[in-house]
Amino acid sequence: MRPPLQPNRDTDNTLLAVENVSLRFGGVKALTGVSFDIRKGEIRAIIGPNGAGKTSMLNCINGFYHPTDGRIIFKGEMRRKMRPHVAARGGIARTFQNVALFKSMSTLDNIMVGRSLKMKAGFFWQLLRYGPAIEEEVAHRKVVEDIIDFLQIPHIRRTPVGRLPYGLQKRVELGRALAMEPDLLLLDEPMAGMNLEEKEDMARFIIEVNQQFGTTVALIEHDMSVVMDLSDRVVVLEYGRKIADGTPEQVKSDARVIDAYLGVAH
Amino acid sequence: MLYREAGQFKTTYFSDMAVFRLREDRTGLAVVVVAAYGLAFVGTDFLLQAVLIPFLVFSLAAIGLNILTGYAGQLSLGTGAFMGVGAYSCYKLMTAFPDVNVIIWILVSGLFSAAVGALFGLPSLRIKGFYLAVATLAAQFFLQWCFIRVPWLVNYNVSGALDAPLRTVFSIPVVGATATSQARYIVVLTLVIALTWLASNLVRGRIGRMWIAVRDMDLAAELIGIRPLQTKLLAFAVSSYYCGVAGALMVFLWYGGAEYDVFNINQSFFILFMVIIGGLGSLIGSFFGAALIFIMPILLGIILPALLVPFGLSIGAETIEHLRFMIVGALIIFFLIVEPHGLARLWQIGKQKLLVWPFPY
Ligand SMILES: Nc1ncnc2c1ncn2[C@@H]1O[C@H](COP(=O)(O)OP(=O)(O)OP(=O)(O)O)[C@@H](O)[C@H]1O
Ligand SMILES: [Mg+2]
């Protein structure tokens, strides 16, 4: 028996509410009746064993997949069949488990393209590259340079990202997401495949983004120590179902989590 | 003077974003432009009319296709037809309103092919790659059918062909039998320079980045808020605009009249070869590609017989023709093997090497 939807949700503080979401691919049930919320300004972790449906959850949130059942409410508004570019316009940015950068572009251009939505100069100014077009180009370039400095990657500014090592690509991808100045930042395993030092850097960036800009972050991560350090609250998925939800301490001592996730994975 | 980056520090983002970040590059470009205009006064009729004008026309068409295929990643085989739309609309416009400056009509005719191009670009939302190429092939055949079957397009003239009525600019004939190749060349050159400059502005800014993003990974592009359909349709429209203007120039300033079959599928492939050889996603590559595919055979036609003279050999014009095809074919394969990313990449590598010369890096 699943508990009924809580009607007394604190709507003021909730940025995103996932209600009873199910997702099926033919016979595969990627998600089954998952509900949780993300509060403004928090770092929310989603954990679970491989194939638990974590990535699928993010894909539902930013409109890449459409839930077969249930609803997702973002900023108090529900959109059925929201397209990813609409989600982006609404303020949702994300990074991918296997980096999805524009390979032939430089770091600079990859992050710059993240500013596309903020750039307004019309087609004819663009043709002339004059007036508003060039002013805007310079203004956004400054923002992008700030992001590059913040992520400590000025040396790879002009390198085509296809040539960068994996750890740096992940950083550039974070930069591109930050360039969108999102309200909700979805990070799919931002530290996967990194060494300890890179992980620490990445963790620091995430905390700084969260604290300095108040960006709400939802992240998927396998490394439990990282999850415990970073997150305010944790959702645990297993086989597409939510098995626990709470502060890291609560989750860590939950019998089902220990059993299903920590016990198996470690 | 050496080709060096040293000492040319960029103190503002504005100057760092210039097309040619190095002084040497800017000087080089200025020299090329001045020389190109200079050729109008020293070049022979043959050079201007049979070599340079067509080279410029093909370069413009190649830029058009490069915007679509090279920058936005949408494969098209409809280039010939889109050029045709430009040529036929230009004909209708300049015969319907003979008093308006013909250059205005050439530029306006591109808008018609832009609209047609965007229309035939609609399938690109759903299909990609070879399948899209097949869809654009439909455009090629449908439009070509229109050119043949709709006599209204050629004002019901009996030959069914486009002719070039006399048109002047500042009372100098530029279109029609009395136009000198010098006048035609200057008009074509000026338009090609202006349109290339505009294209380079476009591809370096927000729109160009959005096109490349869609090309490199359309899903990720959508996830950062880029609307895939609008972005692709804009690429189709801008690309077809360039092809349309190239088509109008081809008929009225180069051929001086044409039949529907110059806009056939061969023309589409011809331009596609130029784009691939020159370098996908490079404007300068479009010029290189046009030069290799169009000028190289002409050069060979002149050089080959001359080379054989000392050996007392003389070969028939036909054999030379065959040899030309074989050599150009071999060159294309050679360049593709040496550098699959086209001549533009070779050029880039060459410049990089020159920057640090005489050291290897
Ligand atoms: N597009 C798809 N088509 C079919 N099945 C899919 C698709 N996407 C995900 N799945 C299935 O849904 C389930 C959940 O996958 P998901 O990628 O969400 O897991 P995950 O928790 O992110 O796992 P991991 O830790 O390995 O990244 C898996 O069984 C997967 O095979
Ligand atoms: Mg995953």
Please, what are the domains in chain A?
1-91+225-266 (3.40.50.300)
Q: Are A127 and B198 an interchain contact pair (Cβ–Cβ within 8 Å)?
A: yes
Q: What residues of A are in contact with residue B198 (Cβ under 8 Å)?
A: 127-128
Predicted confidence at residue B19, as pLDDT, reads 62
**Residues in the 5 Å CB sphere of ion ligand 2:** A 55, 97
CA–centroid distance, residue A62 to ligand 1 (Å): 16
Can you tell me the mean pLDDT for B216-245?
94
Q: Are A116 and B210 an interchain contact pair (Cβ–Cβ within 8 Å)?
A: yes
Chain B residue with minimum CA distance to A180: B224
Q: Is the pLDDT of residue A204 over 50?
A: yes
Q: Are A105 and B213 an interchain contact pair (Cβ–Cβ within 8 Å)?
A: yes
Q: Is A228 on the interface with B (CB under 8 A)?
A: no
Ligand nearest to the CA of A47: 1
Cα A140 to Cα A137: distance, rounded to the nearest angstrom? 5
Q: What residues of A are in contact with residue B222 (Cβ under 8 Å)?
A: 83-85, 88
Å from B58 to nearest chain A CA?
Answer: 22
Q: Are B202 and A100 an interchain contact pair (Cβ–Cβ within 8 Å)?
A: no
Q: Among partner residues A100, A113, A180, which is closest to B219 by beta-carbon distance?
A: A100
Q: Give the domain ranges of chain B.
A: 45-356
Q: Is A128 on the interface with B (CB under 8 A)?
A: yes
Q: Is the pLDDT of residue A5 over 90?
A: no
Q: Is the pLDDT of residue B124 over 90?
A: no
Å from A7 to nearest chain B CA?
Answer: 32
Q: How does residue B318 score in pLDDT terms, banded at 50, 70 and 90? A: confident
Ligand nearest to the CA of A51: 1
Interface size A-B, in CB pairs within 8 Å, comes to 101
Predicted confidence at residue A189, as pLDDT, reads 93
pTM summary value: 0.89
Q: Is the pLDDT of residue B284 over 90?
A: yes
- Give, using CA atoms, the residue closest to atom 1 of ligand 1: A25
pLDDT, tens only, A94-148: 999 989 999 999 999 999 999 998 898 899 999 999 999 999 999 999 999 999 9
Q: How does residue A9 score in pLDDT terms, banded at 50, 70 and 90? A: very low
Can you tell me the mean pLDDT for B243-269?
92
Q: Is A64 on the interface with B (CB under 8 A)?
A: yes
Can you tell me the mean pLDDT for A66-81?
87
> Which among B29, B59, B119 has a CA at the least distance from the CA of B245?
B59
Q: Is the pLDDT of residue A26 over 60?
A: yes
